[in-house]
Amino acid sequence: MSDEATLQLPLLARVGHAQHCKICLQGLPSSQVDVDSARLALAFYCLGSLDLLNSLESRTNDFERQDWREWIWEQHTQGRYGTGFKPSSYMTPSHNLDNYTEFDAPHMITTYTALLSLSILKDDFSRLDRPGLLKFLRACQKDDGSFYTEPGQGGDSDIRTTYCAFAISSMLDDWSGIDVDRAIPYITACRTYEGGYGQSPFCEAQGGTTYCALASLYLAPSSSPIRGEPLTAQQRRQTIRWLVHNQGQSGGFHGRTEKEADACYCFWCGASLELLGAKDLVTTSALASFLARCQFKFGGIAKSPGEHPDPYHTYLSLAAISIHPPGPDTTTSTSWNIKPLDALINTTKETAEWARSHIPGQKIKS
């Protein structure tokens, strides 16, 4: 980046971004109906953004946070395949927490985002059915080592679900719900000749799925043989090379070779580099300049300049800035100060600590 461009780094419009997320938490227009079956995930991106901006306490009040916790617990549902969280009440005709039907079952990705959202809201997790959650994880794992998004009906399965299963096990500090030895070969089968990982075996390397693969490998428990350094030196070099080359001239990252930059890949690729111990290789001034241009004038961050914002791109942009903040040579504005991130489970360090100290519950024996 030229000095001229970096010196003109605009402010990060913190208030606008917080407001965008707050508005989404309060309600979405009918045009957003496609998030009906993923509302808890969307809520996580909103709450997570407020958390990263350190605005949760100032932008929301105790009553709201209490109500939201209650609402999330309403999605905590028990049944024949164990316990987890469903995406929302979009399939729920009446108040009934027990014995879900097969078409109103908990969902793996939602369960991961619910645990994080409750941690952001400082829930004590006294209501969490831990044995049920382990049973749910077991019911989701397939013979090939991957995981269904939902038990019973099957649903789809790819490396995103694997990541969620690993992150949940890690937060629970209990790996008895999944067969790690069976899960790892599925992850390694997703690796491609470019050095990234695809969504399932044989698929093209992509930034988001590469993050899921790497984070899963680095989350794996100490009992697993790959713990420590899951990649060979040669693999690690190749993956770093591919990730670094995904940063384009605009300063933003693209998710696949020869594609356009997109704000979300600033996180997926940027966090992957952090996991590989190579975060210093990102040109942070150019990254910040790109994300600054993705800001929407009325708040929120879009996938690329000139597009409309959404909580997903807002959250991932803020998370990317947290890992790769612009240096003092680029800006002296405090607007770019974002709370530090735990890149493995993708939440602020403070929230990760809360999760890890409250989700496992009382250990029966040491």
Partner 1 sequence: MPTIHTDPPTLYAERSDWADVTPQAQYENVNPLAPIFYTEEYKDATDYFRAIVKSGEMSERVLELTENIIRQNPAHYTAWQYRYKTLLTIKAPLDVELRLMDELAVKHLKTYQVWHHRRLLLTETRKPVPELAFIARSLKADEKNYHTWSYRQWLLAYFNDDELWDGELEFVERMLKGDIRNNSAWHHRFFIVFQSGTRKGDEDRDEVVRRELAYVKQSISQAPNNASAWNYLRGVLDHSHTPYSTLQLFVQLYTVPHSPGETAVEVIDLENPPPSKDSQLPCPAAIEFLADIYELEGGNGIPKATELWKSLANEHDTIRKKYWEYRIREALQSTGP
Question: Among residue numbers 315 through 354, which ones bind partner 1 (CB under 8 A)?
Answer: none
Please name the amino acid found at residue 190. Answer: C
CA 118, 362, 180, 276 torsion: positive or negative? positive
Buried b (16+ CB within 10 A) or exposed e, 110-136: bbbbbbbbbbbbebebeebebebbbbb
DSSP letter at 20 equals: H
**For partner 1, how many residues bind (rule: CB under 8 A)?**
71
Q: Judged by CB, which is closer to partner 1: 1, or 180?
A: 1
Closest C-alpha to 164, from 144, 183, 188, 181: 183
Under the criterion CB under 8 A, does residue 25 sit at the interface with partner 1? yes
Q: Which stretch binds partner 1 (CB under 8 A): 4-12, 31-39, 165-173, 213-221?
A: 31-39
CB 149 to partner 1: min, Å: 8
Q: Judged by CB, which is closer to partner 1: 192, or 335?
A: 192
Query: What is the number of residues in the chain?
Result: 366
Query: Are the CB atoms for 250 and 262 separated by under 8 Å?
Result: no
Residues 125-164 that bind partner 1 (CB under 8 A): 153, 155-156
Both tokens of residue 275?
């996991």
Closest C-alpha to 118, from 76, 60, 167: 76
Distance between CA atoms of residues 266 and 250, nearest Å: 12
Please name the amino acid found at residue 302. Answer: A
Q: Is 16 exposed, middle or buried (0-12, 13-18, 19+ CB in 10 A)?
A: middle
Under the criterion CB under 8 A, does residue 74 sit at the interface with partner 1? yes
CB 252 to partner 1: min, Å: 11
Indicate which single residue of 9, 12, 13, 40 sits in contact with partner 1 (rule: CB under 8 A).
Answer: 40
Indicate which single residue of 206, 216, 330, 331 sits in contact with partner 1 (rule: CB under 8 A).
Answer: 206
Query: Are the CB atoms for 158 and 202 separated by under 8 Å?
Result: no
Taking each helix axis from N to C end, the angle separating 108-120 and 159-172, rounded to the nearest 10 degrees, works out to 40
CB 35 to partner 1: min, Å: 7
Q: Judged by CB, which is closer to partner 1: 170, or 199?
A: 199
Q: Judged by CB, which is closer to partner 1: 221, or 305?
A: 305
* Contact flags string 208-247 toward partner 1, x per CB under 8 A: ----------------------------------x-xx-x
Indicate which single residue of 10, 54, 59, 64 sits in contact with partner 1 (rule: CB under 8 A).
Answer: 64
Q: Judged by CB, which is closer to partner 1: 148, or 175?
A: 148
Q: Judged by CB, which is closer to partner 1: 94, or 334?
A: 94
Under the criterion CB under 8 A, does residue 304 sit at the interface with partner 1? no
Phi-psi region of 197 (alpha: psi -120 to 50; beta: other; left: phi over 0): beta
Indicate which single residue of 12, 35, 139, 319 sits in contact with partner 1 (rule: CB under 8 A).
Answer: 35
Q: Give the alpha-carbon dihedral of 298, 304, 306, 309, to 10 degrees.
A: -30
Residues 252-281 that bind partner 1 (CB under 8 A): 256-259, 278, 280-281
Q: Judged by CB, which is closer to partner 1: 70, or 173?
A: 70
Indicate which single residue of 4, 95, 232, 364 sits in contact with partner 1 (rule: CB under 8 A).
Answer: 95
Q: Which stretch binds partner 1 (CB under 8 A): 7-15, 164-172, 199-207, 332-340?
A: 199-207
Query: Are the CB atoms for 314 and 87 separated by under 8 Å?
Result: no
CB 363 to partner 1: min, Å: 31
